[in-house]
């Protein structure tokens, strides 16, 4: 019906078809349905959907049942669930580094980034930022490697945490080192700021039979101390490293994956991935009102509702390209679900042409949606077009200095070279209105304007339709930070 209608309208085909699609989306995605998804996922009974909690398992089942009801196929061996191996790691009780005769203690100077309990001694060796080349030209065998946190081009501590540190640990391991210490010498990053983040219970990925990480510490900035000069000058400085009291505990976690096969015989080989994380941070301290549940209505029941809306629409109206719908687990623990997925994709990443992610901390402008990564990708035309019928405008990320792009699952795709954007509810600044709800107990469903939220979801679905219909999928723009990864991906 739709095809016939569109092919007959020769005069203004794209305009009229566009109107038809927007109308279909409006009819299909009702405000009540979007509201119902969010109210269910963000209810107090779901206890903030923490990774490893039974409530997050209920949320996963709910999402799978919506996928199924709307005719999606299971994305992974015809089931909807991808097991994600994660474990809870308690912080160490003690950790200490002694360099020459100078000691640095846990919480005051030292943070444990990774690796288990340890007690070792050896010679320190400096590798700069610790790139593959740095390791190539330095003898690190049997030594404790010292590097600077991050890399020459890393501008945020998230990127250092998520990308640089794991790579360095693997390199150090490969080159026979016994431990790794990164010096926190990054502009704008303080030890105290990181201490709260790293010195608490964490959830990390852990594959069966995986080699454990080398003991890996982050150390207060000591770049102006004489011992650092001695290490840099290769004066065979020696010392000890000790970590104890770390305990681990396995958790259950699942990505939920559905699929709608493409209807175009050629384009169906190209996979578009539509994503949103469905976990949040669980239950924490009571606030002044006695509320301890972090409901996460905005973050990210809202984005999950947009994903479910897309699943409903495409379930009835398959696109030319094949679409995978993925609800990610453990995003709040450091993008773990998407990290696992992009390391274990159900369709080759080389065939994965684009990722459209829905996530956000809230909104403070109900006339817009905010797109993280619009400036990196050739997506602007579709985004403008997708929002217009629903009375919204798509704006570019107003706070690039926060690097929010690296703060959600789109980043896992980007760092593998796959063009990706995050479609966030409208904000013009990270102001008080946002902070009132962002990772706070009052982020309740009833504080949302569901008319706006439904229009956000509709624009998201329409954007997905427009991307899926493009002759050539959205591309990276020249000069973006992910160009090298994109080249490597295509060379595979
Ligand atoms: Zn989020």
CA gap 403, 383 in Å, rounded: 20
Q: What band does 11 get if pLDDT is binned at 50, 70 and 90?
A: very low
Q: How far is CA 315 from CA 58, 79, 241, 278, 311, in A?
A: 22, 16, 56, 20, 6
Give the mean model confidence (pLDDT) for residues 288-309.
97
What is the four-CA torsion angle of 230, 231, 232, 233, rounded to 10 degrees?
A: 50
How close is the Cα of 359 to the center of ligand 1, in Å?
5
Degrees, nearest 5: CA angle 57-58-61: 90
Mean of per-residue pLDDT scores for the chain? 93
Q: If you measure from the C-alpha of residue 412 to the centroid of ligand 1, how many angstroms do you get, rounded to a whole number?
A: 14
How far, in Å, is the centroid of ligand 1 from the Cα of 435?
14
**Beta partners for residue 262, in sequence order:** none
* Ligand 1 centroid – CA 410 distance (Å): 11
| Cα–ligand 1 centroid distance for 424 (angstroms) | 9
Q: How many C-beta atoms lie closer than 10 Å to residue 424's C-beta?
A: 27
Expressed in angstroms and rounded, the spacing between residue 278 Cα and the centre of ligand 1 is: 8
The pLDDT, as a whole number, for residue 14 is 58
| 361 Cα–ligand 1 center, Å | 6
Per-residue pLDDT at 334 exceeds 80: yes
Q: Are 124 and 222 in contact (CB under 8 A)?
A: no
User: Rounded to the nearest whole angstrom, what is the distance from the C-alpha of residue 407 to the centroid of ligand 1?
Assistant: 8
Beta strands in 184-224 (DSSP E): 202-205, 216-219
> Which is more confidently placed, 194 or 70?
70
pLDDT of 207 > 80? The answer is no
108 C-alpha vs ligand 1 centroid, how far in Å? 30
DSSP for residue 267 = G
Nearest to 201 by CA among 339, 406, 51: 51
Could you tell me the distance, in angstroms and rounded to a whole number, from the CA of residue 168 to the centre of ligand 1?
27
What is the rounded distance in angstroms from the CA atom of residue 295 to the CA atom of residue 403? 24
**Ligand 1 mean position, distance from CA 343 (Å):** 21
Peptide bond into 300 cis (omega under 30): yes
* Interval 424-433 mean pLDDT: 93
Between CA 360 and CA 411 the distance in angstroms is 14
Name the pTM for this structure: 0.84
205 CA to centre of ligand 1 in angstroms: 18
User: Ligand 1 centre and the CA of 387: distance in Å?
Assistant: 21
Structure tokens belonging to residue 188: 């704008």
**What's the gap in Å between 213 CA and the centre of ligand 1?**
27
CB 194 within 8 A of CB 232: no
CB-CB neighbours of 297 under 10 Å? 25
Query: Ligand 1 mean position to 199 CA, how many Å?
Result: 22
From 116, 339, 120, 340, select the one nearest 248 (Cα to Cα).
116
Ligand 1 center to residue 393 CA distance, Å? 21
Distance CA 112, CA 95 (A): 8
Ligand 1: distance of its center to the CA of 275 in Å?
A: 11
Mean pLDDT, range 232-242, rounded to an integer: 94
| 8 A C-beta contact, residue 254 and residue 338 | no
Q: Is 110 a residue whose pLDDT tops 90?
A: yes
CB 399 within 8 A of CB 352: no
- Unique residue bearing structure tokens 């109210």: 39
Query: Which pLDDT value is given to residue 7?
Result: 47
């Amino acid at each position: 019906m739709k095809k016939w209608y569109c092919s007959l309208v020769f005069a203004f085909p794209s305009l009229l078809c566009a109107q038809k699609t927007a109308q279909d989306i409006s009819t299909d995605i009702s405000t009540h349905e979007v509201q119902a998804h969010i109210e269910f996922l963000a209810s107090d009974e779901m206890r903030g959907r923490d990774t490893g909690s039974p409530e997050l398992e209920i949320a996963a089942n709910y999402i799978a049942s919506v996928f199924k009801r709307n005719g999606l196929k299971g994305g992974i061996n015809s089931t909807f669930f991808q097991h994600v191996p994660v474990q809870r790691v308690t912080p160490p009780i003690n950790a200490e580094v002694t360099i020459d005769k100078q000691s640095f203690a846990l919480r005051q100077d030292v943070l444990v980034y990774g690796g288990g309990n340890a007690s070792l001694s050896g010679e320190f060796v400096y590798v700069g930022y610790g790139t593959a080349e740095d390791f190539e030209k330095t003898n690190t065998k049997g030594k404790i490697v010292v590097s600077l946190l991050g890399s020459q081009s890393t501008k945020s501590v998230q990127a250092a945490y998520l990308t640089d540190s794991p790579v360095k640990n693997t390199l150090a391991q490969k080159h026979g080192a016994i431990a790794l210490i990164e010096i926190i010498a990054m502009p704008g990053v303080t030890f105290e700021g990181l201490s709260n983040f790293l010195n608490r219970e964490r959830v990390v990925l852990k594959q069966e039979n995986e080699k454990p990480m080398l003991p890996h510490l982050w150390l207060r900035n000591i770049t102006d101390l004489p011992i650092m000069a001695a290490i840099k000058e290769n004066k065979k400085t020696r010392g000890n490293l000790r970590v104890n009291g770390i305990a681990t505990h396995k958790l259950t976690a699942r990505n939920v994956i559905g699929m709608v096969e493409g209807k175009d015989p050629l384009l169906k080989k190209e996979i578009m991935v539509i994503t949103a994380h469905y976990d949040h941070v669980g239950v924490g301290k009571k606030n002044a009102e006695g509320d301890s549940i972090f409901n996460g209505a905005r973050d990210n029941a809202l984005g999950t509702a947009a994903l479910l809306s897309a699943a409903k629409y495409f379930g009835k109206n398959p696109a030319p390209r094949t679409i995978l719908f993925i609800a990610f687990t453990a995003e709040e623990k450091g993008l773990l679900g998407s990290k696992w997925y992009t390391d274990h994709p159900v369709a080759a990443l080389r065939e994965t042409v684009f990722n459209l992610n829905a996530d956000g901390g809230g909104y403070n402008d109900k006339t817009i949606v905010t797109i993280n990564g619009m400036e990196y990708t050739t997506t602007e035309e579709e985004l403008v077009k997708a929002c217009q019928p629903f009375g919204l405008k798509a704006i570019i990320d107003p706070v690039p200095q926060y690097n929010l792009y690296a703060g959600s699952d789109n980043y896992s795709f980007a760092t593998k070279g796959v063009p990706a954007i995050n479609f966030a509810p409208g904000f013009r600044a990270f102001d008080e209105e946002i902070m009132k709800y962002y990772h706070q107990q009052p982020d309740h469903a009833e504080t949302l304007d569901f008319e706006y939220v439904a229009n956000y979801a509709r624009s998201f679905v329409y954007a997905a339709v427009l991307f899926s219909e493009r002759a050539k999928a959205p591309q990276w723009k020249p000069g973006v930070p992910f160009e090298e990864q994109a080249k490597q991906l295509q060379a595979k």
